[in-house]
Amino acid sequence: MIKVSNLRKAFGPIQAVDEVSFEVAKGETFGLLGPNGAGKTTTIGILVGAQTADSGTVEIEGAGDARSRQIRKLIGFVPQSLAIYDELTAEENLKFFGLLYGMGGSELRDRVAAGLDLSGLTDRAHDRVATFSGGMKRRLNLACGLVHRPSVIFLDEPTVGVDPQSRNHIFETIEQLKDHKCTIIYTTHYMEEASRLCDRIGIMDKGHLLAVDTLDSLVDKCGGESTVKIEFAKPFGAHGELVKSFKSRSPFEEVAQFASLGTELKAVHVERADLETVFLNLTGRTLRD
């Protein structure tokens, strides 16, 4: 369980995090969705104890914040920028970070092997990171944060710069972690990732957490109307239309109404609002401007 209350953090004149509060239940995957500079990394940095907040409190597993050594042991952190040693091999990196968490012996060996497997680098295990491609480094960066079997995991844009195949591999890993009842906080500016992985999503912009809810509720509450397009078998209505497009808050009821009029419907397209629209409605901007 993670409980964040009234977090604030400023860098000079920039209020990077402004009165952010949310809760994440045990075993839940929580997404922080927001554009560049929204304050996602800063928020995560405070949660994992890498930065100190100006004010506000964080409580992890009901046992205080990340200043406590006990809590730190539970936390797995995958930073947004690469944080691995270029001059060490993939295996040595994993081993070093395992050692930092007090692992050793056969447990460490198993976890290093699992980390290599997770990052798809088993056959490059003894090569130096400096010789890896960007995507390979990214995957190793992810594995290094998970090597000690953390139960509370912070992933800061782990898929940036990764090819679609590796990205899928990362998604599968995260889904496995969900199966293992890990609590996950995941930041991204891709709404597809948030939709696919996260149980609940917080939308962030300019340091503010604008809305927090499940994908469905967010769309219901902030997405606005769905787009409906009906194709008729025969010309319909006063103007003899073959196609009718309109927006509606309750698309299926309206479609049912048309059907009840006795006209033959050839096709019905209902497009629900998505996170993009949610974001647009909340901020007046699209996610990527």
Partner 1 sequence: MILAIAQKDLKLLWRDKAAMFWTLGFPILIAVLFGSIFGGSSAAAKIKIAVIDQDQSPKSERLVERLRQKTDALDVSTVTLEDAKNQVRKGVLVAYLVIPSGYGEHSNPFAASQSKLVLGIDPKRSAEQGYLKGILTEAVFQELQEMFSHPTQFRTEIAQQRKLIEADPSFAKPEKQKLLKFMEQAEAFVQSIPSTQGSRNGGLRPPAIEVQPLGETASSPKSAFEITFPQAIIWGLLGVVTTFAITIVKERTQGTLLRLRVAPITPASMLAGKAAACFAACAGVMVALLALGAIVFHVRISHVTLLGLAVASSAICFVGIMMLLSVLGRTENAVAGSSWGVLVFCSMIGGGMVPLMAMPAWMQQVSAVSPVKWAILALEGAIWRGFSFVEMLPPCSVLIVLGIVCFAVGAKLFQARKD
Give the footprint of ligand ATP on this chain (CB under 6 A): 11, 14, 16, 34, 36-42, 80, 189
Least gap, CB of 79 to ligand ATP (angstroms): 11
Query: In whole angstroms, what is the distance from residue 161 CA to residue 81 CA?
Result: 11
Least gap, CB of 12 to partner 1 (angstroms): 12
Residue 58: phi and psi, rounded to 5, are -130, 135
Indicate the residue among 137 and 189 with the shorter CB distance to partner 1. 137
Mark the segment that binds partner 1 (CB under 8 A) among 18-26, 96-104, 181-189, 246-254: 96-104
Site string for Mg ion, 40-79 (x = CB under 5 A): xx--------------------------------------
Neighbouring CB atoms inside 10 A of 65's CB total: 19
Nearest CA among 56, 59, 29 for reference residue 42:
56
Nearest CA among 224, 222, 227 for reference residue 282:
222
Indicate the residue among 102 and 284 with the shorter CB distance to partner 1. 102
Q: Which residues of 170-184 are buried (b: 16+ CB within 10 A; e: fewer)?
A: beebbeebbeeebbb
Indicate the residue among 67 and 285 with the shorter CB distance to partner 1. 67
Query: In whole angstroms, what is the distance from residue 238 CA to residue 236 CA?
Result: 7
Query: In whole angstroms, what is the distance from residue 23 CA to residue 3 CA?
Result: 4
Indicate the residue among 181 and 285 with the shorter CB distance to ligand ATP. 285
Interaction site with partner 1 (CB under 8 A): 48-51, 66, 69-70, 72-73, 75, 77, 79, 81-88, 92, 96-97, 99-102, 128, 144-145
